[in-house]
Amino acid sequence: MYEMDFTPARVCPRNIHVAVSDDGNTIEEVRFYGGCNGNTKAVAKLVKGQPVDQIVELLEGNTCGHRGTSCADQMTKALRQAQGAARAMA
């Protein structure tokens, strides 16, 4: 398993912790620090065990108000970064 912390931009959470499988294909865990507690917990539960590519395809580009991004969109950036790092280490 590969784990990392990601500092999101233009959203309420101050940190997103992600863990992906050693091959970078599967989401093992997501934790948001800050933000809307109920929504971020729900997102984390929904994505656990899912393929990184599927979740990124589904949520990338999702926006919140006029921010041009969202917690879910920032999570996809964290997942892609973790996926790349995990694959580089494999």
3-class SS letters over the chain: CEEEEECCCCCCCCEEEEEECCCCCEEEEEEEECCCHHHHHHHHHHHCCCEHHHHHHHHCCCCCCCCCCCHHHHHHHHHHHHHHHHHHHC
pLDDT of residue 46: 98
pLDDT of residue 90: 84
pLDDT of residue 4: 98
For 82, the token pair is 């973790």
pLDDT of residue 55: 98
Q: Are the CB atoms for 23 and 82 separated by under 8 Å?
A: no
pLDDT of residue 17: 98
Could you tell me which of 66, 1, 74, 23 has the C-alpha nearest to residue 44? 74
pLDDT along the chain (90 residues), means of 10: 98 98 98 96 98 98 96 98 96
Predicted TM-score (pTM) of the model is 0.96
